[in-house]
Amino acid sequence: MYRVLIIEDDRVIAEAIKKHIEGWGYEARATENFQEVLSEFSSFEPHLVLVDVMLPFYNGFYWCGEIRKVSKVPIIFISSASDNMNIVMAVNMGGDDFITKPFDLNVLMAKMQAILRRTYDFGGNGAELRHRGAVLNKDDATLTYKDQRLELTKNDYKILYILMENKGRIISRDTLMNRLWETDYYVDENTLSVNVTRLRKKLDSLGLIDFITTKKGMGYIIE
């Protein structure tokens, strides 16, 4: 049974989400103490987190950052503050998706199920993928290169996995978006660009310059 932590200060919304999630057979908990969110996260050990941007004491970006220090659990932001800056901030802080209020609970559930399926069913045969001296470790979602070890976010890992699994082939942006956000609902293309740019910076820091190549108008490739 999947566990979902709801970090939402509007009690009506939080209870509506909780009831809907439980109706699908999942276990859900709505945060009570907004000064001790990380403690609730640690005690509940959720498989997925829903978090509002505007919260008492500390905002959702702060708590996303704190959770990311200890866990790679998928995080979905739910907020009425849906301007591009907030969406980019959510992705940069380690969020996996951003859903704008008001939303249909069935849409929310579809997105949650897609993320849970990708997160906990994603993988393949063999424990690692190799290219240019870099080793992508599937067991712990890390990349090693010349005795350096890079911790990857879920999306970092999946982008590298898809491209390294298909090295020498151009993977279209649409294909990457469909694999990362497996949903029938619209995902802003800027979200993929932000993820790839952030990953490239991490690769550059390891010395893997131009590891991912952009083919203009076509997609990305690891050559």
Q: 137 and 112 in one domain?
A: no
Which structural domain range is residue 53 located in? 3-121
Task: For residue 26, give both structure tokens.
Answer: 């999942």
Q: 185 and 106 in one domain?
A: no
Is residue 112 within 8 Å of residue 48, measured between CB atoms?
A: yes
Which pLDDT value is given to residue 18?
A: 93
Taking the model in full, what pTM does it have?
0.57
How many distinct helices (H) and strands (E) make up the chain?
8, 11
Which pLDDT value is given to residue 133?
A: 87
Among 66, 100, 121, the domain-final residue is 121
Cβ contacts of 192 within 8 Å, gap of 6 or more: 173, 176, 177, 180
pLDDT in tens, 30-50: 998 988 898 889 888 888 999
Q: Is 219 left (phi over 0), alpha (psi -120 to 50) or beta?
A: left
Is residue 7 within 8 Å of residue 60, measured between CB atoms?
A: yes
Which pLDDT value is given to residue 184?
A: 47
Q: 100 and 9 in one domain?
A: yes
Alpha-carbon distance of 20 to 88, in angstroms, equals 28
Which pLDDT value is given to residue 130?
A: 85
Among 121, 153, 184, the domain-final residue is 121
Which pLDDT value is given to residue 127?
A: 63
Q: 156 and 78 in one domain?
A: no
pLDDT in tens, 72-113: 889 998 887 766 777 887 777 788 888 888 888 988 898 898
Instruction: State the 10-residue block means of pLDDT for the chain, 223 residues long.
Output: 88 93 90 89 89 87 88 86 74 82 87 83 61 84 88 88 86 84 62 90 92 90 89
Q: 137 and 102 in one domain?
A: no
Number of domains comprising the chain: 2
Among 98, 121, 144, the domain-final residue is 121
Q: 186 and 105 in one domain?
A: no
- Radius of gyration from C-alpha coordinates of the chain: 18
